[in-house]
Amino acid sequence: MLSAILPYYESRFGNASSLHWAGREAREALEKAREAVAETINADPGEVIFTSGGTESDNLAVKGVAYALKRKGRHLITSSIEHPAVLESFKALEMEGFKVSYIPVDRDGIVDVGKLEGEVRPDTILISVMHANNEVGTIQPIEEIGDIAERRGVYLHTDAVQTMGKLPIDVERLKVSLLTISGHKIYGPKGVGALYVREGVEVKPILHGGGHEGGLRSGTENVPGIVGLSVAAKYAVKEMDETVHRMRSLRDRLIRDLVDQVPGSILTGHPVKRLPNNAHFCFPGIEGESLILALNELGVAASTGSACSSRKKEPSHVLLAMGLDPVAARGSLRLTLGKWNNESEIEYAVKAIAETVEKLRGISPVTR
């Protein structure tokens, strides 16, 4: 990937909007990248808009549709466990007079589809439900929700940042109107992403300027990052079957061994319908932040929830929405495997976690 990116830093540094030879060279790379990304999700190249990452793509999808269709209605639907980039976008729209229905989830974190359909009304203009949860890894029934959205004439957006390269993504099969992906989750560059916008879907830009990216996202395109994203996306899809099989095997061992070796551990998220690289636990009696810091000293990189909000000290909104006790939710641990993890690392991590949890419980006032 680096060999594909470097030329656009070293010598092919033209602005893709310029008409001279250097600009045309950059434009050619940009459009080839667009074609490559589109192919990985079964979309047309013209339906792919490049952005600075998942957060911008989510904001553009949610706010862009709301602003474009507010003449039709001001009612929006989302789940109670979305990524902050989606939830905060909806909260911002509520401040502007839009009405939002937050759909509950069950104990495993799966959206109540019946409740969702019951919330659709004549003035509903958008449904946004993530493909899989970024904390507990639960996979959502997007195809089923897509059927509802199509039948009721409502746009459907899904944040697929977590699922790219881990689950097959076909925008036609999912019946989504908009879909978010990000480079860094598939070993691509940070600070680059894309938004799929189905042809004919109405979206208003939230960044204004020179009208780049079909008028939906102004700003000089990050050509090196976009090229890197396209290469990463191609490899993610090409290697998906092999990578997923190996990660799922390691994840299952991680879950099994931790449940066996840590008394009172709670596996959160659906036991089967979950991302192949995700293992999320709650360990009652300890503070998740203390566990993360202790594990860091032992060389185990983990988090208490979303990496984007890991510095927040409140219990995860995802775990609370799933019905977990706030005290138990504070003792959460999110482990996500990478394509290069191996058996010995799983064994080491389990031992480190088990010993650290026991130690922390021994000094915790909660367990005394």
CATH number for the domain harbouring residue 168: 3.40.640.10
Phi/psi at 247 (nearest 5 deg)? -65, -40
DSSP string, 315-331: PPHHHHHTT--HHHHTT
* pLDDT of the residue at 368: 44
Judge whether 323 lies within some domain: yes
Structure tokens at 8: 């656009």
In this predicted structure, the answer to whether residue 58 has a pLDDT above a threshold of 50 is yes
pLDDT in tens, 208-243: 999 999 989 999 999 999 999 999 999 999 999 999
Structure tokens at 209: 């300027």
H helix or E strand, kind and range, residue 336: strand 332-336
- Whole-model pTM? 0.94
Residue where a domain terminates, one of 182, 216, 238: 238
Whether residue 147 is found in the same domain as residue 292: no
Whether residue 139 is found in the same domain as residue 117: yes
CA gap 210, 337 in Å, rounded: 41
pLDDT in tens, 315-330: 899 999 999 989 889 9
pLDDT in tens, 237-286: 999 999 999 999 999 999 999 999 999 999 999 999 999 999 999 999 89
Judge whether 194 lies within some domain: yes
Judge whether 367 lies within some domain: no
Q: Residue 328, Cα to own-chain centre: how many angstroms?
A: 24
Whether residue 234 is found in the same domain as residue 255: no
* Among 328, 288, 277, CA closest to 310: 288
* pLDDT of the residue at 308: 52
Range of the structural domain that residue 121 is part of: 2-238
Q: Residue 127: how many CB atoms within 10 A of its CB? A: 27
DSSP string, 98-143: -EEEEE-B-TT--B-HHHHHHH--TTEEEEE--SB-TTT-BBP-HH
CA gap 129, 119 in Å, rounded: 14
Which has the minimum average pLDDT: 12-21, 288-297, 309-318?
309-318
In this predicted structure, the answer to whether residue 53 has a pLDDT above a threshold of 70 is yes
Whether residue 204 is found in the same domain as residue 228: yes
Could you give the number of structural domains in the chain? 2
Whether residue 263 is found in the same domain as residue 230: no
What is the set of active-site residues?
308
Whether residue 193 is found in the same domain as residue 150: yes
Give the per-residue SS3 of 22-70. Answer: HHHHHHHHHHHHHHHHHHHCCCCHHHEEEECCHHHHHHHHHHHHHHHHC
Q: Residue 97: how many CB atoms within 10 A of its CB? A: 8
Judge whether 335 lies within some domain: yes
Whether residue 46 is found in the same domain as residue 102: yes
